[in-house]
Amino acid sequence: MNDKREIAKTLYKTMGLTDAALNDPDIAHLVINGNMVVGAHLVPGLVVEPHETQNGVTVAMKVLAGSIIQKPVHLCFGMLPEDGLQEIIMDVTIEEHAKVSILAHCTFPNAKNITHKMQANILIKEGAYYSYLERHVHAPGGLITVVPHAIVTVEKNATFKTDFELLRGKAGIIDINYETTCHEASLLEMNAKVNGIDDDDITIRETGHLKGQGAVGVLTTRIAVRDNAKATVYNTLTAHAAFARGHVDCKEIIQDNGVAKAIPIVEVYHPKAHVTHEAAIGSVDDKQLQTLMARGLDEEEAVDLIIQGLLS
């Protein structure tokens, strides 16, 4: 047990965090190293059932109807070894009028050749609220492949917010694919921020289907690619009902030999629905750059600060 506790603390340390959350009885947590559950704590209203598999874990998570989980639930998926495969299968149900926020840390600090896959099925029932912030910390080198896929259903008056952040270390191969179906008066917000360097290869597919009347969806992507990194972003919003509203916003900064593509797709199937999109790809804005240089920052310092802002 003590070994597991030490592994959990080590994983937290790699994220730049203390283990305070692991000691707080009001904060639920689940910590996975490879295919091993090294820490778990629940709070009332939250049901989590992890099962270890050959290459990872399956996690069934449920927030019971009407339960408001006050403090963000900490999930930590990590691998301390240099090589290996981690497969996470998540089945999440947020019952009617329940509310929970998840702070998910994915840490692979020593990676030389690691693959992290996640397949999630998420059901957010009527009036419920689910936010999921997924923050990655990778090793500065090595090969990491990250493949998070999710199928999400957002029922009437429910909310789904997700943020994916990969700003520290080498991104590696990223293949994000989230597809969300939104019913009446529901709200969808999907944000992704990735910093690509070296030969990173980043693919983001975010799709929202606004099926219900008054459903609202916003897809926002911010990416910086430097060196020989590549990024391709497919943002798709479809609107099928009256008063459905959507917006797609993608900004990508390229430096050096970086390559970026944005493919925003908006489809509207109802005359009273409205979806907009904006995409901007290019080098750092010249006026921003020269403004900072006129304050004495050299070009590299200025570019770093602008990218830091874009990805903040």
Interface contacts to another protein, rule CB under 8 A: 222, 251, 285-288, 290-299, 302, 305-306, 308-312
Q: Where are the alpha helices (DSSP H) in the chain?
A: 2-14, 20-23, 286-293, 299-310
- Return the structure tokens found at 7: 């592994």
Smallest separation (angstroms) from another protein to the CB of 137:
20
Q: Judged by CB, which is closer to another protein: 125, or 168?
A: 168
Residues 6+ positions from 252 with CB-CB distance below 8 Å: 221, 222, 223, 224, 225, 231, 233, 260, 262, 280, 281, 282
Minimum CB distance to another protein, residue 281 (Å): 14
Query: Least distance to another protein from the beta carbon of 310, Å?
Result: 5
- C-beta closer to another protein: residue 146 or 306: 306
Q: How far is the CB of 135 from another protein (least distance, A)?
A: 16
Give the relative orientation of helices 299-310 and 286-293 as an angle to the nearest 10 degrees: 130
Distance CA 35, CA 112 (A): 18
**How many C-beta atoms lie closer than 10 Å to residue 271's C-beta?**
7
Of residues 20 and 294, the one with the C-beta less far from another protein: 294
Supply the minimum distance, in Å, between the C-beta of residue 56 and another protein.
34
Closest C-alpha among 121, 72, 65, 74 to residue 95:
65
Rounded CA separation 71/288 (Å): 38
**Exposed/middle/buried for residue 288 (C-beta within 10 Å: 0-12, 13-18, 19+):** middle
Least CB distance to another protein at residue 241 (A)? 31
What does R_g of the chain's alpha carbons equal in angstroms? 20
State which residue, 119 or 288, has the beta carbon closest to another protein: 288
Partners of 49 in beta bridges: 60
Q: Are 74 and 106 in contact (CB under 8 A)?
A: no
Pick 239 or 260: Cβ nearer another protein: 260
Q: Which of 107/195 has CB closer to another protein?
A: 195
Choice between 123 and 262, CB closer to another protein: 262
Segment holding 30, helix H or strand E:
strand 29-33
Which CB, 140 or 282, lies closer to another protein? 282
Q: Cβ(240)–Cβ(214) under 8 Å? A: no
Q: How many Cα atoms are found within 13 Å in the side-chain-facing hemisphere of 21? A: 27
What element of type H or E holds 147? strand 143-154
Closest separation between CB of residue 252 and another protein, Å?
Answer: 13
CB of 218 to another protein, least distance (A): 16
